[in-house]
């Protein structure tokens, strides 16, 4: 199975804590890196996770609260010091671009690479695709325009059956066309149907990122059946009123969304600094959706 990993670099909320970094994640899909949000110190966390800067070409910013984007200029400055020449693509609210351009002209004059900005809006829309993945924005509800992100792996070709290739003495040059659906004809004219030569491909996987947001049951239709869902759980049930006031979610609400959407696994994060032990949030979530884990810096999850 092709690589599709999630690396948690930071999972704290706006107020700093002694044991969490601001929000930042990296999706490693078929050896391409995609950063989601970029809190302060994201480049240091990338080093600690042994992620290669040269493989990161796309950064997705959910909204312009500082704990989700203050690390962006630091990452770009690090790229410049490392002699980067490949273009960097940044996706985020349109209001981020003038701030970013000012920072670039002030702190990174003479960059050897382009920083291409792609504005996003809080709606379901395809914003990036290549041969490996499609990335969609998800409409969230927060105090400023905010989007989630949905990563959809593109289908891969079926697996070749090596025993059949050897049995029928099929040459290597024909394997690609067989994977693409071709039959194979033997010298005597016998046709070997494709289904005897391949095994079904692994189903494409999906990862959804939802932070920061009030509880939105309408998200179910966008994240239904995803392999892994990250959903903020800033507060516990003891602070549900505060969650509603600040347009955040509780652990119970995150778990309810995961249950209703039929996702395979849930990872919660973006913890309020008031919780010294996040297991109170984990316990609340697991009571509704047992397949829940806590986000922690350095955590790596296979999608």
39 and 174 housed in the same domain: no
What pLDDT is stored for residue 142 in this prediction?
A: 97
179 and 126 housed in the same domain: no
Q: In terms of DSSP bridges, do strands 32-38 and 265-269 run parallel, antiparallel, or are they unpaired?
A: unpaired
146 and 164 housed in the same domain: no
Residue 63 pLDDT > 70: yes
CATH number of the domain to which 212 belongs: 3.60.15.10
**Distance between CA atoms of residues 118 and 56, nearest Å:** 16
Q: What is the pLDDT of residues 72-127, one digit of tens each?
A: 999 999 999 999 999 999 999 999 999 999 999 999 999 999 999 999 999 999 99
What pLDDT is stored for residue 7 in this prediction?
A: 98
Q: In terms of DSSP bridges, do strands 125-129 and 56-60 run parallel, antiparallel, or are they unpaired?
A: unpaired
CA-based end-to-end distance of the chain:
11
Quick one: pLDDT band at residue 205, thresholds 50, 70, 90? very high
Q: Which of 169, 199, 229 is the last residue of a domain?
A: 199
275 and 255 housed in the same domain: yes
Overall size of the chain counted in residues: 303
Confirm if 232 and 254 have CB atoms less than 8 A apart.
yes
Residue 150 pLDDT > 70: yes
66 and 192 housed in the same domain: no
Catalytic annotation on 260?
no
Tokens encoding 235: 């507060």
**Of these residues, 67, 130, 183, 188, which one is catalytic?**
67
187 and 247 housed in the same domain: no
190 and 150 housed in the same domain: no
Q: Comparing C-alpha atoms, which of 302, 221, 245, 233 is closest to residue 274?
A: 233
Cα-based angle 32, 225, 118 (whole degrees, multiple of 5):
40
21 and 163 housed in the same domain: no
* Averaged pLDDT for residues 23-44: 96
293 and 220 housed in the same domain: yes
What pLDDT is stored for residue 17 in this prediction?
A: 66
In total, how many domains does the chain have? Answer: 2
211 and 184 housed in the same domain: no
144 and 186 housed in the same domain: no
**Distance between CA atoms of residues 170 and 210, nearest Å:** 47
What pLDDT is stored for residue 34 in this prediction?
A: 98
Q: Which of 199, 224, 259 is the last residue of a domain?
A: 199
3-state class (DSSP) for residue 34: strand
Q: Which domain holds residue 90?
A: 4-156+202-302
95 and 106 housed in the same domain: yes
Q: Comparing C-alpha atoms, which of 132, 135, 173 is closest to residue 156?
A: 132
């Amino acid at each position: 199975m092709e690589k599709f990993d999630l690396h948690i670099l930071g999972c704290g909320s706006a107020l700093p804590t002694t044991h969490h970094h601001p929000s930042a994640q990296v999706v490693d899909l078929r050896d391409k890196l995609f950063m989601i949000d970029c809190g302060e110190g994201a480049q240091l966390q990338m080093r600690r996770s042994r992620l290669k800067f040269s493989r990161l070409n796309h950064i997705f910013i959910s909204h312009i609260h500082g704990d989700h984007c203050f690390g962006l200029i630091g990452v770009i400055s690090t790229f410049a010091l490392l002699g980067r020449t490949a273009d960097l693509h940044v996706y985020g609210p349109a209001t981020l671009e003038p701030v970013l351009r000012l920072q670039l002209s002030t702190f990174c004059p003479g960059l050897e690479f382009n920083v291409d900005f792609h504005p996003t809006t809080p709606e379901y829309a395809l914003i990036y695709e290549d041969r490996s993945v499609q990335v969609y924005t998800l409409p969230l509800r927060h105090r400023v325009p905010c989007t989630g992100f949905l990563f959809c792996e593109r289908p891969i070709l079926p697996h070749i059956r090596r025993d059949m290739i050897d049995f029928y003495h099929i040459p290597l040059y024909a394997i690609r066309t067989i994977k693409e659906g071709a039959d194979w004809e033997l010298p005597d004219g016998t046709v070997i149907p494709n289904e005897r030569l391949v095994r079904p491909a692994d189903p494409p996987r999906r990862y959804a990122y939802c932070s920061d947001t009030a509880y939105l049951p309408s998200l179910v239709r966008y994240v239904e059946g995803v392999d892994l869902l990250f959903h903020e759980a800033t507060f516990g049930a003891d602070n549900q009123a505060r969650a509603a006031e600040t347009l955040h979610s509780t652990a119970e609400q995150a778990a309810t969304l995961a249950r209703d959407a039929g996702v395979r696994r849930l990872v919660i994060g973006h913890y309020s600094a008031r919780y010294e032990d996040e297991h109170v949030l984990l316990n609340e979530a697991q009571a509704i959706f047992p397949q829940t884990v806590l986000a922690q810096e350095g955590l790596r999850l296979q999608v």
